Amino acid sequence: MVQRELSVSTRVRAGIPERTCVGCRQKVLATDLLRVVAREAESGGFVLTPDLKHRLPGRGAWLHPDSKCLSEAGRRRAFGRALRVSGSLDSSELDRLVEDTELS
């Protein structure tokens, strides 16, 4: 039996949701993106936390695990808008994860 990979439109209809990357603004399958949530920090701001299992509570922003998309999202201040938070956003944890992902 020959196995074929399903097209994007077929997979969406099959129940795999599409999401938009906050960096490049491309619509792709949620399984291809990294979910990011904002957690309150002790210092009063927010920490951008990668949600690898897509299960953490709260609003999520979706991002390609790519340094170009991460820098573009930061430049446009997309995380604050997508997550509906104001104040300082610490992205150091997210930066490390994206950097490690690109090295492997």
Render pLDDT for 45-93 as a digit per residue (tens, 0 to 9). 999 999 999 999 999 999 999 999 999 999 999 999 999 998 889 999 9
Strand pairing category for 34-40 and 18-20: unpaired
Place of tokens 């998309």: 69
Phi, psi of 89 (to 5 degrees): -120, 120
pLDDT band at 101 (very low <50, low <70, confident <90, very high): confident
Domain assignments of the chain as residue spans, ordered by start: 8-103
Would you say the C-alpha torsion 62, 66, 72, 74 has a positive or negative sign?
Answer: positive
The CATH T-level fold of domain 8-103 is: Hypothetical Cytosolic Protein; Chain: A; (3.30.1230)
**How far apart (Å, rounded) are the C-alpha atoms in residues 85 and 100?**
26
Determine the Cα angle at 69 with ends 67 and 74, to 5°: 95
Q: Which helix (H) or strand (E) holds 58?
A: none
The tens digit of pLDDT for each residue in 44-55 reads 899 999 999 999
Beta bridge partners of 37: 49
**How far apart (Å, rounded) are the C-alpha atoms in residues 71 and 94?**
11
